[in-house]
Amino acid sequence: MPRRIHILPDTVANQIAAGEVVERPASVAKELVENALDAGASRVDILMEGGGKRRIRVSDDGVGMGREDALLSLDRHATSKIAHASDLREVTTFGFRGEALPSIAAISRLTLETADGEDAVGTRIRVEGGRIVDVQDFPRQRGTTVEVWNLFYNVPARAKFLKSASAETRAVSDAVIQLALAHSSVAFHLSSDGRTLLELPAASDVAARIAAIWGEEEAGRLLPCQAGDGDAEVWGLAQRPDAARPGFRRVHLFVNGRPFRAPHLLRAADRAYRTTVAPAVRPWFFLYLRLPPGAVDVNVHPTKAEVKFRQPERVEGLVEDAVRRALAGAASAATLDTRAAPPRLAAPERGAQQGAPAGMGRAAAPPPQMALFFSGETAPAEPLEACETTLPEPSPARLWQLHQTYVLAETRQGLLIVDQHSAHERILFERMMRDFASGGAASQRLLFPITVRLSPGEHRVVEEMQSLLARAGFEVSGFGGSTVIVHAVPHPHPYFDAERCFREMIGELTRGSELVRSARNQHERIAMTFACKGAIKAGQRLDERELHELFDQLFATELPYHDVHGRPTVVRLSREELERKFGR
């Protein structure tokens, strides 16, 4: 009986394997640029024609290769990155399988030019469809150039699935940007059909690299964030809430210097924005994770875009904590400044697995909120509890009410404009959430109970939430039909209209507004609607004592710069911007 199983020829096997690594021109560019970065390049030049379908060339000034290594690099599973299976636990390079170059060579016409600076002359190798057709001496400086022509010329079934030249060009550009963000200290140049798409000089930090790619205005809307837990750390940049918009977003995640995708970490970062942005808003993130060997597995997929964490919940918690801390700082407040300076946060250098990554500039810990209003010219360098000398007591902030709606506060850096209604929303929301956690809010019994007639739907909501309403301070009982009696209410401020607040709360809970739908549980729904309906209104005159009380309570909250709708409570105006406007 004839055999039915046979061994595939090497050319066929290589083409099949190449399909796992090379999907499109962007895959080629990504793999070749990663090799250049692994070789220690300080500059990488990428040239493409026809969206990379016709030609891609990647040149670097890395360590290069001698002739023997150059020939071996074209064999599958030949690599300088690892030597033993145990090395997979501590991979610090982009590549390690030895698959990229032979995979690309199997489905293209490839030329490899390289020199290690030690031999008198370099090497030039030409490959067609995985077969070496020429090896010769070639004069060049140290480094490597790989040129790929006619991608998928021998696999037409794959070639026909490629998109238009413009679409493939965008994909290549995105791949290069991802790697440029991972290595801000490396210069990159990308050109397409003779036109420069990216010219990125070596940058001092991540924010400078972002400014070079998308402009200083976008970089100035980012906040430095950082959190650590023993041998694990998260740092990076997140978008200021008032700058975030619905729709398109930029998200870049890195672990130990390696770009990767992780929807669960993106959801954790989004959770940190709860009650600071509207539900449909999608902030930008540029987040870097440093984890010890063994805590992350990068050997998951040939494209190396996915990783597995040994403790995913711990990593998610760190990401959420890092972003949440950034949103609690003064820099997260909306600003009227037209030239917001980009933050300083240096990109991590790959390979620094222990301790702080080399060259990483840490954002200074923010001073206490009230330090903004200290008398004198400079803020205290450290938090109060860390100072050995006694600091002067903060002088009372100078406050003015504008249009019976806004509170103006002078600071050393300029001016704060506080929306009194939004500020009180934040205060009441956080206060009620604390009251829920501690057993319930205090209430005040009414001398004359309030009788409220409700719609059938509203009455059902009151019945369903009666116990929660009681914990919020509203003591309600039925009075027949759809009528209820309110015997006790909370007392958040002297101008509180209990009946109006109760009616508006129940109406919103019944209709299910966007605010209500964004809440994660019933406690948060009650707290959000109460804060919205019970807060001091715009147009309410406040005396000096009440202004200071509002101000002090706002800056005692966890997130003083954002209300529960995702609107700003505070808008900043710097002295520099004022001086610019007045031409000083």
Query: What does the pLDDT read at residue 412?
Result: 86
Backbone angles phi, psi at 59, to 5 degrees: -120, 145
Same domain, 410 and 309: no
Same domain, 310 and 410: no
The answer to the question of residue 145 being in a domain is: yes
Same domain, 196 and 223: no
- 268 exposure class (CB count in 10 Å sphere: 0-12, 13-18, 19+): buried
> Which of 200, 221, 238 is the C-terminal boundary of a domain?
200
Same domain, 184 and 239: no
Same domain, 216 and 159: no
Segments forming the whole domain that contains residue 323:
206-335
Same domain, 167 and 75: yes
The answer to the question of residue 565 being in a domain is: yes
Instruction: Quote the number of domains for the chain.
Output: 3
The answer to the question of residue 351 being in a domain is: no
- Looking at residue 416, which CATH number applies to its domain? 3.30.1540.20
pLDDT tens figures, 493-517: 999 999 999 999 999 999 988 877 8
**Weakly modelled stretches of the chain, pLDDT under 70:** 1-21, 76-98, 299-304, 346-397
Same domain, 268 and 404: no
Residue 50's Cβ-side half-sphere holds a number of Cα atoms within 13 Å equal to 10
Backbone angles phi, psi at 217, to 5 degrees: -65, -45
Query: What does the pLDDT read at residue 355?
Result: 33
- Looking at residue 181, which CATH number applies to its domain? 3.30.565.10
Same domain, 149 and 217: no
CA dist 166 to 50, 172, 201, 350, Å? 8, 10, 25, 32
Strand partners of residue 101: none
Give CA–CA dist 308/289, Å, rounded. Answer: 13
Backbone angles phi, psi at 416, to 5 degrees: -110, 135
Same domain, 298 and 416: no
Task: Judge whether 106 and 130 are in contact, CB under 8 Å.
Answer: yes
> Which of 289, 307, 335 is the C-terminal boundary of a domain?
335
The answer to the question of residue 3 being in a domain is: no
> Which of 335, 358, 377 is the C-terminal boundary of a domain?
335
- Looking at residue 331, which CATH number applies to its domain? 3.30.230.10
Same domain, 165 and 221: no
The answer to the question of residue 513 being in a domain is: yes
Task: Judge whether 312 and 264 are in contact, CB under 8 Å.
Answer: yes
For the sheet containing 483-489, what is the strand order? 444-453, 483-489, 475-478
pTM strictly above 0.85: no
String of DSSP letters for 301-368: -TT----EESSHHHHHHHHHHHHHHHHTSGGGSEE--SSPPPP--PPPPTT--SSSPTTPPPPPPPPP
Encoding tokens for residue 379? 């803020």
Query: What does the pLDDT read at residue 376?
Result: 39
The answer to the question of residue 389 being in a domain is: no
Task: Judge whether 326 and 224 are in contact, CB under 8 Å.
Answer: yes
The answer to the question of residue 367 being in a domain is: no
Q: Which three-class secondary structure state does DSSP give residue 51?
A: helix
Percent of the chain with pLDDT over 90: 66
Same domain, 401 and 295: no
Antiparallel, parallel or unpaired: β 475-478 and 414-419:
unpaired
Same domain, 317 and 220: yes
The 10 Å CB-count burial string (b at 16+, else e) for 553-564 is bbbebebbbbbb
Task: Judge whether 238 and 222 are in contact, CB under 8 Å.
Answer: yes
The answer to the question of residue 366 being in a domain is: no
543 CB neighbour count, 10 Å cutoff: 9
